[in-house]
Amino acid sequence: MQDNLSPIFAALADPTRRAIIGQLAKGEAHVGDIAKPFLKEMSLPAITKHLKVLESAGLITKTKDAQWRSCKINAKPLEEATHWMEQYREFWEESFDRLDEYLKSIQSKKKSKGKKHGKG
Amino acid sequence: MQDNLSPIFAALADPTRRAIIGQLAKGEAHVGDIAKPFLKEMSLPAITKHLKVLESAGLITKTKDAQWRSCKINAKPLEEATHWMEQYREFWEESFDRLDEYLKSIQSKKKSKGKKHGKG
DNA sequence: TGCATATATAACCAAATTGTTAATTAACCA
DNA sequence: TGGTTAATTAACAATTTGGTTATATATGCA
């Protein structure tokens, strides 16, 4: 019911992979092109692996083009991930007009705590 | 310049931790309350660890309350993560009115490819 | 004081992640 | 046919992750 999200978030948890997405947002690119900015920091096989993680998460698609693999961003999974987060938007907006109400609800919870935890 | 995002995405990559956030969205809760739905699947120390990951990512805050630790959602990091993803919103919306233009840009890239890769 | 409750920490383990280098595959080209 | 280029795969090591059980800490209470 909700777990294709894990591989998406896991893919985004790596800064190299986020940078790759940022790069692909500017247009399709081949593995070698994608790798170029990272080759001082890591090897080509490392990039191959990162691309595989992104592909498994559905964030990119690869197409064969002679001896090159052309990589294209697929943002659909980002939409799903964003959708999951949007559920909690009210919690980062509450600090404005909803703060008062929120604090009140916290207070009423605190009041009922004595009873609530007496059962153990 | 941009890496507090990794621990946030990493925290969200685990379904147990996402479920905990879902639970805390309904209100503050103590560790024991949070753990209850998971105790058939894992132990209390496992939950303690998950909470620590969430806390390190800034997604929850814990306050001491006698022998209980009250956990509260803090959605600010979700806002940051969402903000990062929003950069790519056009890519999941393009499939409507922007599709045509996009396809054209792809086509022109394809045309220039022969030259582009002749340099190696 | 000392027991019960709530939670955290320690020590450990298996599996996954992230990188490496070396070898392999695949396509083009002379 | 063989060499060059592009990318992947294999084998390996170090680190991190996510769980375990056993122990420790902290608080409230009889």
Answer whether residue A109 shows pLDDT above 80.
no
Angle CA A82–A85–A90, to nearest 5: 125
Place of tokens 């805050």: B61
Helix (H, G, I), strand (E, B) or coil at A35: helix
User: Pick from B64, B9, B3, B6: which is nearest to B31 by CA?
Assistant: B64
Using one digit for the tens of pLDDT, what is the confidence trace for A58-108?
999 999 988 999 999 999 999 999 999 999 998 888 655 555 555 555 455
* Beta bridge pairs of residue A70: A30, A63
Strand C contact at CB of residue B36, distance < 7 A: no
Nucleotides of strand C under 7 angstroms from a protein beta carbon: 5-11, 17-22, 26-28
Task: Tell whether B68 lies on the interface with A, counting CB pairs under 8 A.
Answer: yes
Place A48 in a pLDDT band, splitting at 50, 70 and 90.
very high
> Is the C-beta atom of B62 closer than 7 angstroms to strand C?
yes
Query: Per-residue pLDDT tens for B15-71?
Result: 999 999 999 999 999 999 999 999 999 999 999 999 999 999 999 999 998 999 999
User: Are the beta carbons of B75 and A65 separated by less than 8 Å?
Assistant: no
What pLDDT, on the 0 to 100 scale, is given for residue B1?
43
Residue A51 has pLDDT above 50, yes or no: yes
CATH number of B5-75: 1.10.10.10
Contact indicator for B77, A59 with CB cutoff of 8 Å: no
* Domain spanning A5-74, CATH class: mainly alpha
Residue B54 CB partners (closer than 8 Å, separation 6+): B11, B17, B20, B21, B60
**DSSP-derived secondary structure letter, B37:** G
Structure tokens at A77: 């999974």
Half-sphere exposure of B5 (CA within 13 A, CB side): 21
Average pLDDT, chain B: 84
Can you read off the two tokens belonging to residue A8? 């998406």
Residues of chain B contacting residue A27, judged by C-beta atoms under 8 Å apart? 105, 109
What is the Cα–Cα distance from A67 to B120, expressed in whole angstroms?
A: 13
Which residue's entry shows tokens 């987060």? A85
Nearest Cα of chain B lies from the Cα of A41 at a distance, in angstroms, of: 17
Separation of alpha carbons B8 and B87, rounded Å: 17
- Binned at pLDDT 50, 70 and 90, residue A114 comes out as very low
Domain ranges of chain A: 5-74, 78-111
pLDDT at A108: 54
CB-CB neighbors (< 8 A) of A25 in chain B = 87-88, 91
CB atoms within 10 A of CB A99: 11
Tokens of A70: 């052309």
Cα–Cα separations (whole angstroms), residue B65 to A49, A117, B28: 46, 12, 12
B55 touches chain A (CB under 8 A): no
DSSP B71: E
In this structure, is the CB of residue B30 within 7 Å of any atom belonging to strand C?
yes
Query: DSSP letter at B120?
Result: -
